[in-house]
Amino acid sequence: MKTCPTPLSFQGLRPLAMGLSLALLALGAQASGYRFGTQSAAAEGTANSNGAEGADASSLFANPAALTRLKGLQVSGVLDIIDPKVRFTDAGSTLTAPGTGLQPRAISAAGDTSSPADTAYVPHMYLSYALSDRMVAGMGVFVPFGAKLDYGMTWGGRYNLGNVELKSISLNPNLAFKISDNLSVAGGLNLQHMEGKLKRAVPYSSAYARGLLAAAAQVEAGGSPALALQMRQMAAQIFGDPQYDGSVAIEGKDWGFGFNLALLWDLDKNTRFGMSYRSAVKQVLKGTGDWTQPTTLPASVLAAITAAPYNGLSALDHNDSAASVAIKTPESLSIHGFHQLTPTVAVMADATWVKQSRLETLRIDFHNTTPDSITPEHWKNTWRVSAGVNWQAGKDVMLRAGFANDRSPVPSRTRSPSLPDAHRQTFALGANLNLAPATTLDLALTYLKVKDAAMDIVDDAEGETPCNCSLAHVRGNYASRAVIFGMQINHKF
């Protein structure tokens, strides 16, 4: 791959970090940041506050120590249908070229809207098997992260992100052991696979305009001011013209490994408390960048910026190249409690802390002489607090409800199209139905209310040089919400 001596060189690979390690727009899920948060329909019915309940095999995700409450062989299959509504309203985004004298050019109109999210169908599977009266083995296969966003290639943030798709899966074997009649512990290994694809626009007009201006300076120094003026006028005409947009498409994948630990303490027959820890997972996403350069540049412009002796732009071509980014997903610690208030009513609560501050910057390592590309994030640690209730409304019907308040780790000054996250509230209803002596069905309906969020970012790497960036200034506001419908079949063999 050749290096382009302009602010846009190789900035197209910058979103590899956002798209593959963040993509991760969990607006359709329940957790802030990029934790997916919808791994169990039984849990969703209480806004994920039932970590200490231990009612079925899906308890493995929230607290695998609760598996010691299960007997024999049990299986839970989950399907989440996520319907996010994400609407971006542009406030007038521009392409800038500081230091050139060129005026910012509009790349969208104020009031333009984009709706990048669509319905997603996400499955999970859990199994528990009692090896003895005190030991239970469990296996979870679930989706920890996931996103599919398509803004298109004409919206105001196209130089930051056009579309992105991320798929992930975790294989999580666990072993739970009952130390005493009232204390259980568990541990497991988390094998996580991630793969993603991303595409964005590249503003080659910026490179062309800078090349013309550089050539004009040499022409003027050589004693041809009229020709220099003509070149500057041509640069002003070309700069910001979308017909000179190119694109870069990126994909990457990797496996990572982590672990989890948990305990469950029965205070008495009606009350229990739990704690669960999930470690960070380190991964190096290895990807390829496929560049597409526009073929619309007039021959006269191309000649002016490349011909000797001016050579205003020495490298217009971007060759396909490999790139990688090292990421570390955040660890989490949950504390939860469950109390059977009456024979028919139980209350529960959960508080989860996530070390999101690990994500300070994202750095892409290019597998050539191109300098690393850095994306500032400056995330903050977060807390999620939830509470729920179960009501045994009849012999074969249990009703659930829950509420959660979730803080976003994303500072407003670094909010990006890849993760326009904001503080959120979750309102949940659920039900557990006995279909047969050994089979139950869980249903959950969740409404996710996300606080309206402004985005005002300049793609300038916060002034770091050399600047592998487009210098696009994206301004607008996000209005987001989501409805999640969860179904779960539980069967005891």
CB-based contacts of 190, cutoff 8 Å, min separation 6: 170, 171, 172, 257, 258, 259, 260, 278, 279, 281
* Residue 1 belongs to some domain of the structure: no
Cβ(258)–Cβ(279) below 8 Å = yes
Local confidence band at 251 (pLDDT 50, 70, 90 cut-offs): confident
Q: Would 258 be classed as within a structural domain? A: yes
Q: Which amino acid is at 393?
A: A
Q: Per the domain annotation, does 31 fall within a domain?
A: yes
Under 8 Å between Cβ of 283 and 274: no
Q: Looking at the domain assignment, is residue 129 inside a domain?
A: yes
User: Mean of the pLDDT values across residues 207-213?
Assistant: 86
Looking at residue 230, the DSSP 8-state letter turns out to be H
Domain contains 313:
yes
| Joined tokens for residue 332 | 């989490």
CATH of the domain at 467: 2.40.160.60
Sign of CA dihedral 300, 96, 459, 86: negative
Within a domain: 388: yes
Indicate if the pLDDT at residue 22 is higher than 60.
no
158-172 pLDDT, tens digit per residue, is 998 888 887 889 999
Number of domains in the chain: 1
Contact 74, 124 (CB under 8 A): no
DSSP per-residue codes, 29-60: SSSSTT------HHHHTTTT--TTT--STTHH
Q: What is the mean pLDDT of the chain?
A: 85
Highest mean pLDDT among 107-111, 300-304, 323-327, 364-368: 107-111
User: Tokens standing for 123?
Assistant: 């499955």
Range of the domain at 233: 11-426+449-481
Asked whether residue 418 is domain-assigned, the answer is yes
pLDDT digits (tens, 9 = 90+) for 433-469: 999 999 999 999 999 998 898 999 888 878 777 667 8
Closest to 127 (Cα-Cα) out of 422, 399, 490: 490
- 168 lies in some domain: yes
